Chain A
Amino acid sequence: MSGGREAEVYEKLAARIKAREESAFRDFARLFSPFMRTYFLDNGIPQPHADDLVADSVTDILLRVEGHYQERSDGSFRAWVMECVRNVAAGWHRKHRLKTDALSDDPPSPDTGGSEPAHLAETQAVRDALSSLNEIDRQILEMRELGGMWSYAEIARDLDISEAAARVRHMRLLQRLEAILENDPRIKRKERAAG
């Protein structure tokens, strides 16, 4: 999607939210909550606090759209949401510094300014890669990597496949995702890992 087209989608989303379209509220959660989670985790907010903040931020930011956001055509809705998310992270750190003022180590300061597009880009890169998986592989990924670390036996039972097939599909989907994401310039994490 071109930059201008993408900006138009986001600005239309703001207008749809103001018009109280239910699908717009769902789209907001779908589009922005992964980015919020990435941002909070990468800025030193541990789970489960990060997950709680994501859910609260979805409600709070949506409620602020009506009274605090004015439509523009320059893609500023996304930037406005990022600003709100940054403020939430800063508020969390401020609150927790006040509560833990006896500790000698300074908690990490929330990232500011130009890193939000990187988080959004990385989240989009993963979303794009996951869209290449079929439904069964996506479920295996969720159960094995993102959920409660299901065993292959449990996965096999739930998906009505053999345990061996669950194991092989899991390895294959990880290999496929590695091949896709390894060459995606939006993924910075591998560069940090390489040092």
Chain B
Amino acid sequence: MMKHADSNVVVGAYEAPDWLRETLRVASMPPELRERCEQAALRALDVARLRAARERTGFVAVPLPAWFRGLAQIGGVELAPLLEWFGVPDLSRPTPETAGPISRLAREVAFQLRETLALLRTTVAHSLGYTAIPLLAAAHRYGTIDAPAAADPVAAAEQTLAEVEALYDDEKRIVLRAILDAAKREYDDTH
């Protein structure tokens, strides 16, 4: 046993009871978890700001990176930490594996399922080199000499995408189907 000069405690004689250690451990937050929870809260704030930005916009069929960069600019949000938090490695090339996290983020930002599906299809088309989707969708939206206007911007995008996807080979169609199924599951699992 050892006495310390600035204490009347005999060090080594005291053993903290188990209930105390357990109480402290359970009820106290390790610093790294405290920091992680603070970051979790700030990511929720980022999403709330993106939602507010989304309310100020209409729908346009541009690829997901452009959408989220635009919303982030309007909402004053730094996008990279948010994408990392949601497990989205690359918005520009959706895959069946990333479609779920992308769709979860889109759902949280208040995109409807139909909008998210249209944006995923647009992004896939863009990644395959079909970069004129926004222009063609605008033509469908407002009508041309040859065709009446679509009912709404999402319908206009869907008409354009149907024309583009008719040019896909079977492999691309299978992958696209898997991407869209993953997105739908994310909306189906909404609590």
B is a partner of A: yes
Residues of A within 8 A of B (CB): 20, 22, 25-26, 28-30, 33-34, 37-38, 41-42, 51, 54-56, 58-59, 62-63, 66, 87, 122-123, 125-127, 130, 141-142, 145-147, 164-165, 167-168, 171-172, 174-175, 177-178, 181, 187, 189-190, 192-193
B17/A193 in contact, CB under 8 A: yes
- Which residues of B have CB within 8 Å of A20? 45, 48-49, 52
Q: Mark B13-29, 1 if CB is under 8 A from A, else 0.
A: 01011111111111111
Q: What are the 7 tightest A-B residue pairs by CB atom distance, in nearest-first order?
A: A62-B44, A126-B27, A29-B41, A193-B19, A58-B40, A33-B37, A190-B19
B27/A122 in contact, CB under 8 A: yes
Residue of B nearest to A17 (CB): B48
CB distance from B2 to the nearest CB of A (A): 7
Q: Of B18, B40, B48, which one neighbours A55 at CB under 8 angstroms? A: B40
B42/A26 in contact, CB under 8 A: yes
- Which residues of A have CB within 8 Å of B47? 59, 63
B48/A33 in contact, CB under 8 A: no
Residues of B within 8 A of A (CB): 2, 4, 6-7, 9, 11, 14, 16-34, 36-45, 47-49, 51-52, 85, 108, 191
- Which residues of A have CB within 8 Å of B20? 174, 177-178, 181, 190
CB distance from A145 to the nearest CB of B (A): 6
- Which residues of B have CB within 8 Å of A33? 29, 33-34, 37
User: Which secondary structure dominates where chain B touches chain A?
Assistant: helix
Assuming A147-B30, A164-B4, A181-B23, is B41 touching A172 (CB within 8 A)? no
CB distance from B30 to the nearest CB of A (A): 5
Q: Of A42, A55, A145, A181, which one neighbours B33 at CB under 8 angstroms? A: A55
Supply 17 further A-B pairs (C-beta < 8 A) apart from A26-B42, A29-B41, A59-B43: A20-B49, A28-B41, A30-B38, A34-B29, A58-B40, A63-B44, A126-B23, A130-B28, A145-B21, A145-B25, A146-B30, A164-B11, A171-B14, A175-B9, A178-B16, A189-B22, A190-B23
